[in-house]
Amino acid sequence: MNPVRAITGTMVPLDRADVDTDQIIPQQFLKRIERDGYGDFLFYNWAHTDDGTPSSDFIINSPDRRGAKVLVAGPNFGCGSSREHAPWAIQQWGFDAVITPSAADIFRNNSSFTGLLIVELPAEAVGRLMDVAADPAAVVTIDLETQTVAADGIEEHFDFDPTAKERLLQGLDGIGVTMTHDDVIASHEASRPSWLPTSVG
Amino acid sequence: MSTPRTLFEKVWDSHVVVDSDPALLYVDLHLVHEVTSPQAFAGLTASGRTVRRPDLTVATVDHGIPTTGRSLGIRDPLSKKQVDALIQNCRDQGITMFGIDDPRQGIVHVVGPEQGLTQPGLLIVCGDSHTSTHGAFGALAFGIGTTEVEHVLATQTIWQARPQTMAVEVEGTLPWGVAAKDLILGIIAQIGVSGGTRHVIEYRGQAIRDLSMEQRMTICNMSIEGGARAGMIAPDETTIRYVEGRPFAPKGTDWDAAVAAWESLATDPGAGFDKVEVLDAGALVPHVSWGVNPAQTVPVTGHVPSPDSYSDPQQREAAVRALEYMALRPGTAIADINIDHVFLGSCTNGRIEDLRAAAKVVEGRKVDDRVNAVVVPGSMQVKAQAEAEGLSDIFERAGFSWRDAGCSSCLAMNPDVIPSGDRCASTSNRNYEGRQGRGARTHLVSPAMAAAAAVSGHFVDVREWQLS
């Protein structure tokens, strides 16, 4: 994962509540065994007509939204399936961050590993950002280090899990960090009751 | 006296390896399937790592595999590639796998309990959000993403922010004809699709204690549809009787030690929860979803609601879009909605008791001519048992198609896709747009309600119907 520090860019407003990961990346695109190649399928069913033509009325297809870095979404964003393909698709389309009143637990967690910055702000602040984002040229800056969001007259602080923050800022390999605790893992392992199940019967 | 603790706190505490927030927790059982694991195994190999505890890891194939014509192999080249990758990865890493020809193959959340791998007090993870199912045993079980799958493969541990606790107290008794599915849909209608976010739910109360293990699995399975990190039910006699004698259950003196440990897991008197919701099971009726999220449900006796009935503007807007997608008009009686398909199966309702409940409704009747009805058992063992009990004959005589085990039309990654514009009464867990196929319209119901709808061609109140 590449380090994530500050993100500055234009926005795409998606004013819908409870956007589930099936909408973010539909099931027919989960058959790949690679981590890449999902960007073209972001919000596929909303972004395409039945014959696969891009729908001109869906916002991410609008030419003036190309190059946007921040998705501004409604509450409970990323609910449903645990598919990590959802943050992959969002990032591979070009977004670096999602601003929402609330993200679903698994999606928020997954994003903290893929490097997609999830910023949770009060609904009222997200509403004001949505209004600003109506202008395709409006720019927002998210600074993870100071945990602030700034855009046209808006300045907001956001909470962020300190461990995830450290991981994102430094672009750490999670497994490497965990293995520095190998001795305690091994001692916990040795203390487990012998009757616990194993898959070898 | 030690501080009273909840079931969740006891299971959490016993798995803490590094006591920080987030904490590093030890994983007792890692379940793996073909769709969310290939990138994890590839990452592991690329960094020169191996699976730390293959003996605490079990794999099966379920999401993308066909439910018919298996002797012909998997014809979808992409799904075949995923299954082949899992076979190779399990072989390379020494992981037990219930493959497509294994009599133990099935949906990961049906197979774990069935084999006795799922036990009280365990910490269980899987790259699948319905891992919450295993909480029915008093395990702490939750879904994870692919990066975390790789992390668990490599370290057998997982970092977790400590969730808050939520008690859902269900008093009273479920009325006749009202299923566990109706209870969980009722709970989700009450708490909303994000009511459980950042929480682990413990389902409590007389109505929960009265449930069988399979009904408890239906409840815990859909915890994620209420946004919860996990759902749990304290182990009791029902749990212990269910686990005893299963292939991977403890035996002999191990069994006695295990039972003693399990009996100490229930929430202590006086332990507190961050949030409490109370429901009266006696007031519940069969539910049918009308919209595109699992909180958009109404009683079968009800009508499609008007968006104006929502005070929140965002929810009102969501209802407008849901009605458009579902091609429904406000005020339409649920009983007047005709269906084209019935899907009986999934990790929510694909177990033997679900098939029995549906078969009871179907017996001696015929599927309506306009309906394409399918039964997909949750596992090959469920299938074998249903055949031994004569349930498959009942379904086939009625006109149902009788299939091999897998996730099938629950998420339509295999060939069992519901065509665009068609309407399906489904015993699965998600009625999201496109979930069963692009443009497909899903109505979530219990197995008995699905069976009655198959026979009638439209939704009916199964309570009246069986009485007549």
Strands (E), B297-419: 297-299, 341-345, 372-376, 401-402
Interface test with A, best of B34, B51, B197, B422 (most A CBs within 10 A): B197
C-alpha–C-alpha distance, residues B183 and B277, integer Å: 13
> Which B-chain residues 351-390 have CB contacts (< 8 A) with chain A?
none
ipTM over 0.90: yes
Report the pLDDT value the prediction gives residue B78, as an integer from 0 to 100.
Answer: 96
- Number of Cβ atoms within 10 Å of the Cβ of A56: 9
Q: Which residues of A touch B188 (CB under 8 A)?
A: none
Angle, helix B380-388 to helix B391-398, in steps of 10 degrees: 90
**Entry pTM:** 0.97
Cross-strand bridge partners of residue B24: B18, B159
CA distance B194 to chain A (A): 6
Mean pLDDT of B271-275: 98
The residue with tokens 């379940």 is B31
Helix (H) or strand (E) holding B165: strand B164-171
Report the pLDDT value the prediction gives residue B1, as an integer from 0 to 100.
Answer: 60
Report the pLDDT value the prediction gives residue B459, as an integer from 0 to 100.
Answer: 98
Find the closest chain A residue to B251 by CA distance: A195
What is the full per-residue pLDDT of chain A (201 aa) written as tens digits?
A: 889 999 999 999 999 999 999 999 999 999 999 999 999 999 999 999 999 999 999 999 999 999 999 999 999 999 999 999 999 999 999 999 999 999 999 999 999 999 999 999 999 999 999 999 999 999 999 999 999 999 999 999 999 999 899 999 999 888 999 999 999 999 999 999 999 999 985
Q: DSSP letters along B49-112, please?
A: ---S-GGGEEEE--SS--SS-GGG---SHHHHHHHHHHHHHHHHHT-EEE-TT-TT-B-HHHHH
Report the pLDDT value the prediction gives residue A173, as an integer from 0 to 100.
Answer: 83
C-alpha–C-alpha distance, residues B199 and B322, integer Å: 27
Find the closest chain A residue to B414 by CA distance: A28
- What's the pLDDT tens digit per position in B136-157? 999 999 999 999 999 999 999 9
Does B248 reach chain A within 8 Å, measured CB to CB?
A: yes
Please work out, in degrees rounded to the nearest 5, the angle formed at the alpha carbon of residue B165 by the alpha carbons of A163 and B428.
Answer: 95
Q: What is the mean pLDDT of chain B?
A: 97
C-alpha–C-alpha distance, residues B356 and A201, integer Å: 30
CB contact under 8 A, B38 and A76: no
- What's the pLDDT tens digit per position in B376-385? 999 999 999 9
Find the closest chain B residue to A22 by CA distance: B435
**Using an 8 Å Cβ cutoff, are B179 and B212 in contact?**
no
Interface test with A, best of B14, B31, B35 (most A CBs within 10 A): B35
Inter-chain Cβ pairs, chain A and chain B, closer than 8 A: 208
Q: Which residues of A touch B248 (CB under 8 A)?
A: 197-199, 201
Interface test with A, best of B16, B155, B221 (most A CBs within 10 A): B155
- What's the pLDDT tens digit per position in B217-230? 999 999 999 999 99
Report the pLDDT value the prediction gives residue A201, as an integer from 0 to 100.
Answer: 59
- What's the pLDDT tens digit per position in B206-220? 999 999 999 999 999
pLDDT at B466 over 70: no
Q: Is the peptide bond before B22 cis (omega within 30 degrees of 0)?
A: yes
Name the nearest CA neighbour of B216 among B246, B179, B190.
B179
Q: Hey, what amino acid is at A76? A: N
CB contact under 8 A, B129 and A80: yes
CA distance A175 to chain B (A): 6
- What's the pLDDT tens digit per position in B327-377? 999 999 999 999 999 999 999 999 999 999 999 999 999 999 999 999 999
Report the pLDDT value the prediction gives residue B465, as an integer from 0 to 100.
Answer: 82
pLDDT at B243 over 90: yes
Does B412 reach chain A within 8 Å, measured CB to CB?
A: yes
Does B22 reach chain A within 8 Å, measured CB to CB?
A: yes
